[in-house]
């Protein structure tokens, strides 16, 4: 084992002291102040806070690039240059990156990597950050609720809508350019073609987003 990760702890004042109104002050103001403290990366009752992340300059003498996921260390030294996300990996050198991994990767990615060590992983505060733990719990709930599953009906409807808009763009522009129409009808065809072209770009953007994030087939080789 490479040891447990640690982070500094802070003790915050009670909610009543966080309120500008003092004890007995407006509860809405207390909630606002408490939310501000949370936004600063702190937590109540002495819970740990994460250390500030930075992207250091890495040297060959620094040793292996170890990144932790769910209590396992992975050596990504040779993979750094090929990582699609670039050198963002350096921000998590020697740190737990479970929340970041779950946010941007499928668990199937880990099938290609063999752990080189272990560390004590706190599921409630991975990497010493209770907010990442809360995010992981929320993500798992979304997974159980099926919110990450691809809707075939939705994908087909998007492609159908793109085809409809494309037909409007081509048909409207051709009728406007070559049709023997009255001025009113010609202008309506022009507007229809314009709306169709805008719709093609807008809906194609939705599809491109889902494919690039591998949210359609959940397979990077196919989606890309």
- pLDDT of 61-76, one tens digit each? 567 889 999 999 999 9
Q: What is the mean pLDDT of the chain?
A: 75
% of the chain surpassing 70 pLDDT? 72
Q: For position 163, what pLDDT does the model report?
A: 96
13 vs 144, more confident: 144
If DSSP codes are grouped into helix, strand and coil, which group holds residue 12?
coil
What residues have CB less than 8 Å from 216, skipping those under 6 apart? 150, 155, 210, 222, 223
User: 66-145 in CATH: which number?
Assistant: 3.10.120
Q: For position 187, what pLDDT does the model report?
A: 94
Instruction: Please tell me the pTM assigned to this model.
Output: 0.52
Rounded (10°) angle between helices 152-178 and 183-212: 150
Q: For position 203, what pLDDT does the model report?
A: 92
Among candidates 40, 5, 3, which has minimal Cα distance to 128? 5
Q: Domain boundaries in the chain?
A: 66-145, 152-213
Q: For position 5, what pLDDT does the model report?
A: 41
Say yes or no to pLDDT of 136 above 60. Answer: yes
The Cβ of residue 116 has, within 10 Å, a number of other Cβ atoms equal to 12
Say yes or no to pLDDT of 202 above 50. Answer: yes
Q: pLDDT band for position 47 (50/70/90)?
A: very low
Q: For position 175, what pLDDT does the model report?
A: 94
110 vs 201, more confident: 201
Say yes or no to pLDDT of 108 above 60. Answer: yes
Diameter over CA atoms, the chain = 81
149 vs 198, more confident: 198
Q: What is the mean pLDDT of residues 183-197?
A: 95
State how far the Cα of 152 lies from the Cα of 221, in Å rounded to an integer: 19
Q: For position 78, what pLDDT does the model report?
A: 87
Among candidates 114, 107, 119, which has minimal Cα distance to 76? 114
Q: pLDDT band for position 46 (50/70/90)?
A: very low
If DSSP codes are grouped into helix, strand and coil, which group holds residue 73?
strand
């Amino acid at each position: 084992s490479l040891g447990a990760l640690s982070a500094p702890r802070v003790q915050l004042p009670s909610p009543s002291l966080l309120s500008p109104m003092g004890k007995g002050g407006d509860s809405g103001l207390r909630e606002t102040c408490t939310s501000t403290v949370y936004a600063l990366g702190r937590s109540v009752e002495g819970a740990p806070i994460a250390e500030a992340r930075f992207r250091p300059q890495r040297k060959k003498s620094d040793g292996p690039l170890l990144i932790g996921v769910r209590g396992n260390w992975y050596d990504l030294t040779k993979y750094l240059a090929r990582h699609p996300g670039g050198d963002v990996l350096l921000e998590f050198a020697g740190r737990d990156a479970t929340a970041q991994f779950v946010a941007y990767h499928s668990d199937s990615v880990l099938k290609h990597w063999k752990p080189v060590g272990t560390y004590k992983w706190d599921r409630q505060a991975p990497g010493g950050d209770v907010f990442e733990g809360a995010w992981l719990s929320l993500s798992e709930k979304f997974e159980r609720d099926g919110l990450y599953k691809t809707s075939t009906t939705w994908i087909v409807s998007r492609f159908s809508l793109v085809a409809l808009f494309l037909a409007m763009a081509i048909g409207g522009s051709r009728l406007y350019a070559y049709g023997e129409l009255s001025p009113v009808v010609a202008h309506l065809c022009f507007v229809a073609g314009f709306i169709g072209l805008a719709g093609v770009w807008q809906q194609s953007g939705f599809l491109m987003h889902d494919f690039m994030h591998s949210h359609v087939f959940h397979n990077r080789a196919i989606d890309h």
